[in-house]
Copies of this chain bind each other. A is one copy, B any other.
Amino acid sequence: MPKRTSHEDASCTVARPLDAIGDGWSLLIIRDAFDGLRRFGEFQRNLGLAKNILSARLQNLVTHGILRTVPAGDGSPYQEYVLTEKGRGLFPVLVALRQWSEEHFFGPEESRTRLVDAQDGQPLPPLRILSHDGRELGPEDTTPITHNGDS
């Protein structure tokens, strides 16, 4: 996590969430959480990261309200980490990232893990950014404005 002491961190909607998920591990933990992993040991085995790092990342995700700890699960005396509603809101971000990655980081013959429709196994079509009246918008069709909160 960089320092970002600049003047630009206050109102930018990109900068602020990066404190929560901007490091290299958090999004992988969240992806695993979407895949149903809940236990410390599951995350650690699946990701192969050091336990102290995992511990710090889980704490950070909990304090940011993305994961929360629930007391048990099965009879074990330990806790589990599950996505909050805020954490589940990251689903479109992960889908967008996966689609971009599939398109640009993998060759057509290369094996990869992809997300498919659970009902019929069909791959997800590419995300589209639509305006309120249904036009498809590209990067040049949008503009950033400073919004005051009132409106």
Contacts and interface: CB of A to CB of B under 8 A. Distances in A.
Contacts of A24: 1-2, 4, 18-19, 22-23
B143 A115 contact: yes
Interface residues of A, number: 90
Contacts of A140: 118
Interface string A91-126: 111111111111111111111111111111111110
Given A5-B48, A130-B125, A137-B117, A102 B13 contact: yes
A101 to B, nearest CB: 4
Nearest to A110: B149
Task: Name which of A4, A13, A96, A110 has the most chain B CB atoms within 10 A of its CB.
Answer: A13
